Structure 1
């Protein structure tokens, strides 16, 4: 079952038409949420990112779109799908609901919520081989729009197909300045000695929720020095570790890039601290 503007519909329901602006122009935003035992992890951060993104895209925010209202809608769907005692992946999609061409006739919005069951209520380190490569067919444009979790993810789609065709587990995206920005499905962190780097938002990386949580964790680790700095592709093969972060998997270590094999010591060290943060949130 899904939630469309507050109505619970069957998954196979045909409730969107050819005028949908999310389909026609990618005129929408989404949040990917992890819900454990009917609790939304990092919900306030997700909510305020969504509100900020809607303002940037000049969408009208309905009066009822409060933190409490959307949380209630999400949890209601979780219970409808009988997922309240397990772990679920939820997608909250907001799109401009108006006729028009590039110029919408108004800035009203609609929303869709969907939920599926997943494993692992807590974050664990997957130590299996995980190889990445640079995706250089197309580049990320540095700028504010690139930091939004919008429906415009075509570079992630094409990059994922490229990775599959070439038997890579993931790819790293680069921007017009040829700096590493992020992975196809999350932010990237590089470890060299006691320095941990992640690209700054100004480079065009997604303003990730897990990125924010992990940066907060790392700032409290005395033996690590956290830096928000651009990462050159030349740094990758000199790194001790590389890992990807997102809300669903937490931390995913990269084990190989070209001929370079990476350690996973730092990732193992901080995963416990991340889980503590989850329990306290």
Structure 2
């Protein structure tokens, strides 16, 4: 079952031959984690979606409030198989019509959901090796910070990682600085400083990135900085870890010949779970 424009149906019936999300990548989406019927970080997701659609000049209807957004998700989950946690994708796309220039900026939406096996965030004690993906680059612009359906760099990088036995790849921008991983934001601990690339470098404006920055800034003695990370910094780091709203925190254990600790990632994960329980 899916939610298509507010109707709970078995199949959306969307035809791809005229769909602008399929034809031009003309769509914005949010990936949500729902725990015990509650959307985690609801306000952050809603306001990011609203900001993103405005940036790309999509028109959402006046009734598209945060309560409406939440209701569309919970109504779909009410007809799903019972589960403690769900991964939900909320996709907004421009209505059919036009070529590069659309005939209308009005939108439709599609909500899909699948159960998650791990309700709370957890760190898996397994090897997680990464490498740089250098075939294509992220551009330093506002559009790179959005969750749009134009993800060909991430798709190609994921194939490269799979073909070469890596758990993930790190993406570079056109200044050759490290911006993010294929589906996550990047954090680096080095000499008592926790560093993550700034949005100006082209990294995703991640919801979990925002939560981890807030939690880390409350740790005494830890300096938290948003600044560019060069590939040379990676091999000097004490820890590297990735963040997204579904996984939470994923420590990187190896990059080339360098192996990393996971102490700060583990501490932050405990704080994250405590925050989720309280909120």
TM-score w.r.t. the length of structure 1 is: 0.97
Corresponding residue for residue 166 of structure 1: 164
How far apart, CA to CA, are the structure 2 residues paired with 1:170 and 1:123?
19
**Is the Cα–Cα contact under 8 Å of residues 38 and 75 in structure 1 kept in the other structure?**
yes
Cα pair 1:142 1:175 within 8 Å, conserved: yes
| 251, 255, 265: which one aligns with 2:263 | 265
CA distance in structure 2 between the partners assigned to 1:216 and 1:16 by the alignment: 42
Aligned-residue offset at 1:123: 1.0
Q: Is the 8 A contact 1:127 1:253 kept in 2?
A: no
CA separation in 1, counterparts of 2:268 and 2:143? 30
Residue 14 of structure 1: how far off its partner (Å): 3.4
CA distance in 1, matches of 2:35, 2:111: 16
Q: State whether structure 2 residue 190 is matched by structure 1 residue 192.
A: yes
**What is the alpha-carbon distance in structure 1 between the residues aligned to residue 165 and residue 63 of structure 2?**
46
Q: Secondary structure at the match of 2:195?
A: strand
Taking the aligned partners of 1:183 and 1:213, their CA distance within structure 2 comes to 17
1:10 Cα shift? Answer: 1.6
String of CA shifts for 1:181-220, please: whole Å, max 9, x gaps: 0000110000113110000000000000000000000111
Measured after TM superposition, the shift of residue 9 of structure 1 is: 1.9
Could you say which residue in structure 2 is the equivalent of 1:280? 278
CA distance in 1, matches of 2:87, 2:22: 22
Q: State the aligned residue count.
A: 279
- Aligned-pair CA distance for 1:64: 1.5
Any conservation in 1 of the 2:188–2:240 contact (CA below 8 Å)?
yes
In the other structure, the counterpart of 1:61 is 60
- List per-residue Cα deviations over 1:135-168 (Å, max 9, x = no partner): 0000000010000000110101000000000010
SS of the residue aligned with 2:109? Answer: strand
The offset of 1:278, in angstroms, is 1.1
Matches within 5 A, 1:105-120: 105-120=103-118
Q: Judge conservation of contact 1:210–1:250 (CA < 8 Å) in 2.
A: yes
Match of 1:210 in 2: 208
Kindly report structure 1 stretches of 4+ aligned residues shifted beyond 6 Å.
none
SS of match in other structure, 1:88 = strand
The correspondence for 1:122, drawn from 109, 120, 126, is: 120
Q: Hey, what's the Cα distance between the residues in 2 that align with 1:181 and 1:19?
A: 34
* Deviation of 1:130 (Å): 0.3
Post-superposition Cα deviations, 1:66-106, rounded to whole Å, max 9, x if no partner, equal: 100110110010111133x5100000000001300100011
Unaligned runs of 5+ in 1: none
1:8 aligns with 2:3: no
1:37 aligns with 2:50: no
Question: Would you say the 8 A contact 1:98–1:108 is kept in 2?
Answer: no
Q: Is the 8 A contact 1:98 1:107 kept in 2?
A: no
Alignment root-mean-square deviation, CA: 1.0
* C-alpha deviation, 1:17, in angstroms: 3.4
Tell me by how many angstroms 1:227 deviates. 0.4
Rounded to whole Å, the distance in 1 between the matches of 2:274 and 2:221 is 19
Deviation readout 1:224-280 (Å, 9 max, x if unpaired): 110000000000011011000000010000000001111101111111111121122
Structure 2 stretches of 5 or more lacking a match? none
The one of 254, 257, 264 aligned to 1:256: 254
2:87 aligns with: 89
Q: What's the TM-score, normalizing by structure 2?
A: 0.98
